[in-house]
Amino acid sequence: MSDETTNDPFDGEVLDLVVPHSLHEIRVDRVLSMLTGLSRSETSAILSSGGVTVNDKVVVKSSTTLDEGQHLVAVLPVPDSGVVEPDPTVEIDVVFDDPDFAVVNKAPGQVVHPGAGQRQGTLVAGLLALYPQMQELSTVGLCDPLRPGIVHRLDKGTSGVLVVAKTPEGYLNLTNQLAERVMERTYLGMVEGHVAENRGVVDAPIGRSTRTPTLMAVRADGRAARTGYEVLARIDKPHAMTLLRLQLDTGRTHQIRVHLATIGHPVVNDPRYGHRREKRLAEDRFFLHSTTLAFAHPRSGAWVTTSVPLPNDLRPLAPKDVEL
């Protein structure tokens, strides 16, 4: 969950889709690479092993082009062990440490858990080196072996606070708080253009895009999604932008980014749902930061609030006269 659910189909072992118009007449190896983040050599290996079918027929040639409407299925590789190996070289910024959980400040560019596009150097690998007991959450069947202790997650390009569980009690309680919308999650986001209303709520269901399967979109048959926003500052230079405080009421894949793009104000530097007008941010970085996380302590019930400031890479774009 968070602004990304923890069960996105492109993080799993099978890619299954109907080829959209945008991928018409594109080579199958390039399509697999585009959709999964795998290298061309890795996609070639999948093809040669017979792991790709088009309209239920095995395709082994990398040069095969796809047609709109075809049914593409590919079995994607996962880490050989099926589990995450602890990696003490991954830096973890612990904001709050508790026997049942930890709140950490995820760095921009860091991937939370292994997926088809990245297997090494994830936040989970660093957490397991720091908290080996998290691995037990997988062995008792509470978590996916690739996501032990992960309660919710953040996109690679999003920074800020997220909570992870260390014990079964912590995991069950925190995931329940998330599902029941008890947990409070606040973000800072800079968007393109001037948002007219000082406060508002985007209430629009989200599902996978039928035109571009790696993207999410507002869809009538999607899952309920609500994002509240408050204007903190409107900026004129170098171009019109608005700094928002955002509150998640639900947690769908890419929720904040989809909702803001839908109302005509995509997140600054978001290559998937907007555009890159600013060049002062890293390639995979957009102006979205999880600044505050609040929830009930799993055992005592006392309210826990954790916050981290806007990171240095985003500060040059933020107005200096606004306290963040």
281 and 308 belong to one structural domain:
yes
Q: Report the DSSP pairing between strands 159-165 and 184-192.
A: unpaired
* Contact predicate 162/251, CB 8 Å: no
pLDDT at 7: 41
Residue 4 resides in a domain: no
pLDDT digits (tens, 9 = 90+) for 252-294: 989 999 999 999 999 999 988 987 766 668 777 999 999 999 9
* CATH at residue 65: 3.10.290.10
> Are 175 and 211 contained in the same domain?
no
Using alpha carbons only, what angle is made at residue 136 by residues 157 and 166, rounded to the nearest 5 degrees?
A: 55
Q: Does 283 lie in the same domain as 221?
A: yes
Contact 47, 112 (CB under 8 A): no
Distance CA 249, CA 263 (A): 17
Phi–psi pair at 305, nearest 5 degrees: -125, 125
Shared-domain flag, residues 243 and 276? yes
> Within the chain, how many helices (H) and strands (E) appear?
6, 15
* Total structural domains within the chain: 3
> Picking from 5-14, 100-109, 134-143, 295-304, which range would have the lowest pLDDT averaged per residue?
5-14
Range(s) of the domain holding residue 104: 79-180
Q: What is the pLDDT of residue 78?
A: 58
Same domain, 173 and 211: no
Integer Cα distance of 155 and 72 in angstroms? 26
Whether 136 and 229 share a structural domain: no
Q: Of 110, 134, 105, 108, nearest to 121 (Cα)?
A: 110
What's the CA gap between 118 and 133, in Å, rounded?
23
Q: Are residues 68 and 133 in the same domain?
A: no
Closest CA to 204 of 284, 122, 120, 262: 262
Q: Look at residue 8 in the predicted model and tell me its pLDDT.
A: 43
The answer to whether residue 83 is domain-embedded is yes
Please give the backbone phi and psi of residue 202, each rounded to the nearest 5 degrees, phi first.
-100, 115
Residue 264's CB is within 10 A of a number of other CB atoms, namely: 11
Listed in sequence order, the residues at least 6 apart from 141 whose beta carbon sits closer than 8 Å to its beta carbon are: none
User: Do 60 and 85 belong to one domain?
Assistant: no
Distance CA 110, CA 100 (A): 24
Mean of per-residue pLDDT scores for the chain: 88
The stretch 167-180 carries a mean pLDDT of 96
CATH number where 89 lies: 3.30.2350.10
Instruction: Specify if 1 maps to a domain.
Output: no
> Do 226 and 266 fall into the same domain?
yes
- The residues carrying an active-site annotation are 155
Mean pLDDT value of segment 140-152: 86
Same domain as 147, residue 253:
no
Burial class (CB in 10 A: 0-12, 13-18, 19+), 89: exposed
Given 159, 180, 201, the domain boundary residue is: 180
Residue at 311 is within a domain: yes
Whether residue 218 lies inside any domain: the answer is yes
Please report, rounded to a whole number, the percentage of residues in the chain having pLDDT higher than 70: 90
Of the three residues 25, 48, 75, the one that is the final residue of a domain is 75
Domain boundary among 180, 197, 222: 180
pLDDT of 7-47, one tens digit each?
A: 444 444 678 788 999 899 999 999 998 887 777 888 888 89
Same domain (yes/no): 194, 275: yes
